[in-house]
Structure 1
């Protein structure tokens, strides 16, 4: 496993750290205004998705590997709703160094 503090991309590092801490304020700071996301190929409302899949269900990302300069991750993701599953994450980062889009789905 790769510790979040060791992730290569600072924006992705901030995102993973916020998720694992259950810190909604840090999460909002890590994502750009108007950020978008998809889960298993379907676009979702970021605020609704993060509340359901991360914050109200104790979501946690255990990073297995990273590639593409740290913007592509393989993660063992777990939460109280779904348990644990191997997932793939892909991040786009804007010029301000915040996540502007991410895509996740089963790996």
Structure 2
């Protein structure tokens, strides 16, 4: 599931990306709760966001990645996911 999230994000495939999330999915960035749709539009889709995974932890539900977008440039980031009923119900990201 998480691997599909990364692929959809890197492919800028909104439909596939949102199809991987529960209807009530939530997220946070650097410990601050964010509006998932607004955040992904700004930080991913409208700013050509891409990531390259460096290391995977917690059985595949957490990883460290180099994340790049046209808004902030490149940064090392942590990602953690909660999965419910085969879909991502929450993800948390922040600088590593």
Q: Following superposition of structure 1 onto structure 2, how do residues 61-100 of structure 1 map, counting pairs within 5 Å?
A: 61-95=51-85, 97-100=86-89
Q: Which residue of 1 aligns with 2:93?
A: 104
Does residue 4 of structure 2 align to residue 17 of structure 1? no
Q: What is the number of equivalent residue pairs in this alignment?
A: 96
What is the rounded CA distance, in whole Å, between the counterparts of 2:61 and 2:93 in structure 1?
A: 12
Q: Which residue of 2 aligns with 1:3?
A: none
Deviation, structure 1 residue 61: 1.0
Runs of 4+ in 1 over 2 A off after TM superposition: none
Deviation, structure 1 residue 19: 0.3
- Higher-strand-fraction structure: 2
Deviation, structure 1 residue 30: 1.0
Deviation, structure 1 residue 92: 0.2
1:43 paired residue among 25, 33, 38:
33
Normalized against structure 2, the TM-score is what? 0.98
Normalized against structure 1, the TM-score is what? 0.88
Structure 1 regions of 5+ residues with no counterpart?
Answer: 1-10
